[in-house]
Structure 1
């Protein structure tokens, strides 16, 4: 087989493999990923009452990203924290508390 034809076939096979992997990473897998990021971020933000999350649908290549919004215990003003979820280690880190004068986030309501 000529070298060009073998190269073209190899590239076609690689493209098909990547396309099938991308399709496998959709739908239920992404929903499961978002649920895991939300759960881990909420657990890490245990100092917040009535906490909720807004999860970046896909995150970055290495990290899941979310905003955690809630009220610190003993406070009346809501704060927002940035949550970073390490996709490999399955651990999270929270940023500091951002007050409404720094950032104003409204959690979207979900249609039921």
Structure 2
């Protein structure tokens, strides 16, 4: 077998191995990212009781995004706050409290 062919086969095998490892770790990396966004957004929204976060699976290019839903202390009405997580700086900012009549989430109807 000519040495060029052996070299090309070795490079192809190495590239395939690296690609499969990258694909496997990217799923884990996205899970870690989502967990970090959720944790940091919930920590920032500590004024809300029984809070939960709905995290955008991938966010935008620069930011992780989530909706944090909970009840302000001393209130009976749940509110939603928009949470923005800066991917590079690892900082979080929260928007104001949005009342239930301002944030209505409705699943799209299924096509018939």
Residue 28 of structure 1 is matched in structure 2 by 28
Residue 57 of structure 2 is matched in structure 1 by 57
User: Are 1:89 and 2:89 an aligned pair?
Assistant: yes
Q: Which is greater in Rg?
A: 2
TM-score, length of structure 2 as denominator length: 0.73
Q: Which stretches of structure 1, 4 residues or longer, exceed 4 Å deviation after superposition? A: 19-22
Residue 66 of structure 1 is matched in structure 2 by 66
The Cα of 1:24 is off from its aligned counterpart by 6.3
Question: What root-mean-square deviation, in Å, do the aligned CA atoms of Structure 1 and Structure 2 show?
Answer: 2.4
Unaligned runs of 5+ in 2: 1-14, 107-112
Unaligned runs of 5+ in 1: 1-15, 107-112
User: Are 1:48 and 2:62 an aligned pair?
Assistant: no
SS at 2:35 equivalent: helix
Distance in 2 (CA, whole Å) between partners of 1:24 and 1:58 is 16
Structure 1 residues 25, 100: CA separation in 2 closer, same or farther (over 3 Å shift)? same
After superposition, the C-alpha distances for 1:17-40 in whole angstroms (9 at most, x for unaligned) are xx9497366211000000000000
SS at 2:38 equivalent: helix
TM-score, length of structure 1 as denominator length: 0.73
Preserved CA contact (<8 Å) 1:80 1:105 = no
Residue 11 of structure 1 is matched in structure 2 by none
Structure 1 residues 22, 104: CA separation in 2 closer, same or farther (over 3 Å shift)? farther
